[in-house]
Amino acid sequence: MEFHPKDLPIFRTYDLKDEKEAIAAVEDMVKLGFKGKKEGYKVLMPKESKLAKRIGYSVTTGIATGLRAKNEGRDVKYWTYHHDDDHYAIVLTHRDNVADLEF
């Protein structure tokens, strides 16, 4: 079976409109953590290219920075894809979960 990131189990979905919401979502994801969770997180972004790039960059670098500040492993795997006509999406999960998935 072919793998697609939309098939990953999701713990929480964040529908972000701007970079300020991205910062709040990153803080929440870092607080909840990645290690030991069987589910990941989904971030929906508007399909405006420049805005989506800024939000995506804020999320990915913010998570790495936040996990480093908590002295936690930064082994987070993520995929970016076209979610629907109005959104791009990023799915993030701990690297250990990828091996456990049967795709």
Is residue 12 scored above 50 in pLDDT?
yes
What is the β-pairing status of strands 40-46 and 87-94? antiparallel
pLDDT bin (cut points 50, 70, 90) of residue 52 is: very high
Range with lowest mean pLDDT among 38-42, 83-87, 92-96, 98-102 = 98-102
State the greatest distance between any 2 C-alpha atoms of the chain, in Å, as a whole number.
38
Domain 8-100: CATH class, spelled out? alpha beta
What is the rounded average pLDDT of the residues 6-32? 94
